[in-house]
């Protein structure tokens, strides 16, 4: 049996916010397997908040920039070791250079951007004495009959690019359409959807949610048909958390994003589609 150390227990507590003894028992039951222990705590309803296990503690900044003609957008995340360095003018200038380079070259691979900016990267590392890294980048070229909005939140801690298309060119100039694009940028920043629609959710992610529900105390001893019917509602709730079009609208939670989209279509007399989005959160996967 694996040794259940205090450090291992504390790690599980950090991931779940569950009690110390509950974490210890879950680790004992799973022979020290943290991932399996998290699952047990969720099934028992003891995991108050499961934090992302792949979250990285990194400082830095997220930037976005748009071309002069408004057709091309880029967003990047550049990391460093301390918040102190992240707030310096030299680091901010380097991060802005990375974003501008992504805009002009279309490069989104961190290694390729690093190669293109080899000398400035070496300079900022020398100036700061820290390990500065280009974490990731996104590059969007606006489609026909489309609008893209970039939004940077919390002083560079969260960044969003979102694109919507309309059936008619004149729709792009309407206040209703422009307000929808802006509202969706705010929605994505605040609600952190992982997918656009439910069809994008991996089958294994759905099955994992079902398995956790099946093994929970709530369904113990219940007939299989009742459990399976209840699972439909559980999956729909999961979709409402992770899929943009299923999420409650942050400005009016009684409406879903699909409702908001339909209202805009009615106001403009046009067909509107959310084509893509990307969200960066500093230090998160």
Determine, yes or no, domain membership for 88.
yes
State pLDDT tens for residues 6-35.
888 888 887 777 788 888 999 999 999 988
**Region 151-168 average pLDDT:** 97
Task: State residue 46's pLDDT score.
Answer: 67
- Beta pairing, strands 248-249 & 158-166: unpaired
DSSP string across 95-144: HHHHHHHHHHH----HHHHHHHTHHHHHHHHHHH-S--EEEEEEEEEPPT
State pLDDT tens for residues 201-243.
999 999 999 998 888 888 888 888 888 889 999 999 999 999 9
State pLDDT tens for residues 39-85.
888 787 766 545 543 434 489 999 999 999 999 999 999 999 899 99
Domain boundary among 141, 158, 185: 141
What the block records as the tokens of 240 is: 């409402």
> Structural domain tally of the chain?
2
State pLDDT tens for residues 96-149.
999 999 999 999 999 999 999 999 998 998 898 888 999 999 999 999 999 999
State pLDDT tens for residues 229-285.
899 999 999 999 999 999 999 999 999 999 999 999 999 999 999 999 999 999 887
133 and 65 fall within a common domain = yes
Determine, yes or no, domain membership for 130.
yes
68 and 134 fall within a common domain = yes
List the domain range (segments joined by +) for residue 98: 57-141
- Give the CB-side neighbour count of residue 85, counting CA atoms within 13 A: 21
**Residue bearing tokens 């489309």:** 146
Determine, yes or no, domain membership for 14.
yes
* Contact indicator for 187, 248 with CB cutoff of 8 Å: no
Task: State residue 48's pLDDT score.
Answer: 52
């Amino acid at each position: 049996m694996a040794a259940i150390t205090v450090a291992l227990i504390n790690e599980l507590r950090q991931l779940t916010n569950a009690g110390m003894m509950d974490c210890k028992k879950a680790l004992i039951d799973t022979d020290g397997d943290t991932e399996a222990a998290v699952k047990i705590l969720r099934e028992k309803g003891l995991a108050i908040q499961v934090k992302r296990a792949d979250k990285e503690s990194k400082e830095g900044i997220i930037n976005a920039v748009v071309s002069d003609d408004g057709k091309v957008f880029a967003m990047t995340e550049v990391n460093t070791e301390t918040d102190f360095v992240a707030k310096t003018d030299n680091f901010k200038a380097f991060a802005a250079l990375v974003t501008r380079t992504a805009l002009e070259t279309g490069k989104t691979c961190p290694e390729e951007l690093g190669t293109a900016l080899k000398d400035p990267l070496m300079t900022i590392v020398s100036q700061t004495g820290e390990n500065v890294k280009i974490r990731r980048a996104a590059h969007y070229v606006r489609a026909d009959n489309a609008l893209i909005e970039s939004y940077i939140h919390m002083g560079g801690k969260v960044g969003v690019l979102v694109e919507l298309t309309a059936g008619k060119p004149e729709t792009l100039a309407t206040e209703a359409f422009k307000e929808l694009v802006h509202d969706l940028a705010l929605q994505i920043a605040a609600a952190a959807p992982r997918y656009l629609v439910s069809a994008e959710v991996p089958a294994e992610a759905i099955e994992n949610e079902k398995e956790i529900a099946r093994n929970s105390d709530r369904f113990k001893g219940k007939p299989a048909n009742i459990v399976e019917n209840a699972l439909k509602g559980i999956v729909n709730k999961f979709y409402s958390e992770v899929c943009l079009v299923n999420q409650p609208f942050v400005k009016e939670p009684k409406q879903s994003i699909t409702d908001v989209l339909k209202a805009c279509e009615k106001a403009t007399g046009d067909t509107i589609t959310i084509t893509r989005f990307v969200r960066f959160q500093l230090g998160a996967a």
